[in-house]
Amino acid sequence: MRPGGHPGVHRHQADRPRRQLLGSARPIMTATLTLSHRTHYAYQLPVSQSRQLLRLTPRQAPGQRILSTHIEVSPQPQELATRLDAFGNQLTALLILEEHRALDIEAEAQIELVPTDRIDLQASPSWEHTAERLQAPIDGPSWEAAQFCYPSPRVTLDGALDFCRDLFAPRRSVLDIGWRLCERIFNSIEYCEGVTSVSTPVAEVFSHRQGVCQDFAHAAIACLRTHGLAARYVSGYVRTRRRQGAVEGDASDASHAWFSVWCPKFGWTDFDPTNNQQPSQSHVTLAWGRDYGDVSPTIGFIQGGGEQTLEVAVQVTEQSSDDSPSP
């Protein structure tokens, strides 16, 4: 999904362009998916050296098991190494010394999505108790979550309090607030491509009430952090309904983003404000971090090249039971 915020008319829920998702809100069976993410850079002038950092390998996550992954790069890198970054995402670093005018990166993965139990949002601790726990962490999970309580390069807190103040009623459960915030953003901010970028301040999103999935996630994270809560940015993919004439099992797919909020009882719980739902078997988790900057699929430096163009194509295919690998 391309980043896309200037002033515009707010749409009511009924006439808002909402992406239709596959599957029900309560998944009932395992799904095996094949994912392909192709990236093509074309350069005006020859590139003599290219260093790239890739976050294109889906991570292990609740309800998601990685069966296989593969990354193919052309021209072939002279150096290639993989490691985990500070948030546990797989990072692939590569160096290309061969002169080239185009760079192609194809990441493939096979993923098994399994049903997860739905959480009673009302059963989560109050937001005040959760914030107090994060101010004085007493165990590993709360220590790990506490790093997501503070402003980050792409998530400042400007404008957040006015947008969400009324949602934080005394003793309201933290996950209930997460859901109400998801609904608030879905109903108050217009989905509009091409009007924001990865560098758009979250304050502009609150002011102009337009953006795309990454802006929706950043807005939610700012609201939660304003109240001392831990919220992280999740990148991944979402399967959309097949368009007429599409091959059975294929979909019009896109890179996507949502947010996750932490509480002592349940750990991390995800919410998708772009589609006003909790992520289900329509969602594949790629990486998570403090904001988009921590999970950018590709980032790099080149020598030469001049002007460049970028093309990205994503495809997610669900395997039939006959095609699924044996355990």
Q: For residues 289 and 301, state if they share a domain.
A: no
Please check whether residues 288 and 147 belong to one and the same domain.
yes
Q: Answer whether residue 3 is part of any domain.
A: no
Question: pLDDT (tens digit, 9 = 90+) per residue, 91-130?
Answer: 999 999 999 999 999 999 999 999 888 889 999 999 999 9
Task: Identify the pLDDT of residue 64.
Answer: 94
Whether residues 233 and 90 share a domain: the answer is no
Residue 21 scores a pLDDT above 70: no
- The burial class, CB within 10 Å (0-12 / 13-18 / 19+), for 222 is buried
Per-residue pLDDT band for 30 (boundaries 50, 70, 90) equals confident
Decide if 14 is inside a domain. Answer: no
**pLDDT classification of 321: cutoffs 50, 70, 90:** low
144, 209: one domain:
yes
Residue 17 clears pLDDT 60, i.e. is over it: no
- Say if CB 152 and CB 293 are below 8 A apart: yes
Residues 93 and 133 in one domain: no
Q: How far is CA 65 from CA 113, 235, 296, in A?
A: 6, 16, 22
**Is residue 325 included in any domain, yes or no?**
no
Query: What percentage of the chain reaches a pLDDT higher than 70?
Result: 85
The pLDDT of 200-221, averaged and rounded, is 97
Q: What is the pLDDT of residue 240?
A: 66
Q: Are strands 210-211 and 190-191 parallel, antiparallel or unpaired?
A: parallel
- Residue 307 pLDDT > 80: yes
Q: Which of 154-158, 187-191, 242-246, 287-291 has the lowest mean pLDDT?
A: 242-246
Residues 193 and 288 in one domain: yes
Q: Mean pLDDT over all residues of the chain?
A: 87
Q: Is residue 152 in a domain?
A: yes
State the total domains in the chain.
2
Instruction: Give the Cα separation of 291 and 313 in Å (integer).
Output: 23
Looking at the structure, tell me whether residues 92 and 238 fall in a common domain: no
Does one domain contain both 151 and 58? no
Report the pLDDT averaged over residues 193-200.
Answer: 91
* CB-CB contact of 275 with 238 (8 Å): yes
Q: Say which residue, 267 or 247, is predicted with more confidence.
A: 267
Q: Is the pLDDT of residue 287 over 70?
A: yes
| Token reading at 23 | 């599957």
- 266: domain CATH number is 3.10.620.30
Q: Is residue 4 a part of any domain in this protein? A: no
Parent domain of 101: 32-110+297-318
Confidence of residue 218 (pLDDT cuts 50, 70, 90): very high
Give the position of tokens 């091409």. 194
Is residue 49, in this structure, part of any structural domain at all? Answer: yes
Residue 60 lies in a domain: yes
- The answer as to whether 10 is a domain residue is no
Using alpha carbons, list the distances in angstroms from residue 105 to 73, 128, 295.
5, 45, 17
Beta strands 253-263 and 231-239, pairing class: antiparallel
Contacts of residue 169, defined as CB under 8 A and 6 or more positions apart, other chains included, come to none
Q: Which residue has better confidence, 25 or 136?
A: 136
Same domain? For 178 and 267 the reply is: yes
Q: Give the bridge partners for 57, in sequence order.
A: 90
Assign residue 59 the CATH number of its domain. 2.60.40.2250
In terms of domains, do 96 and 202 share one?
no
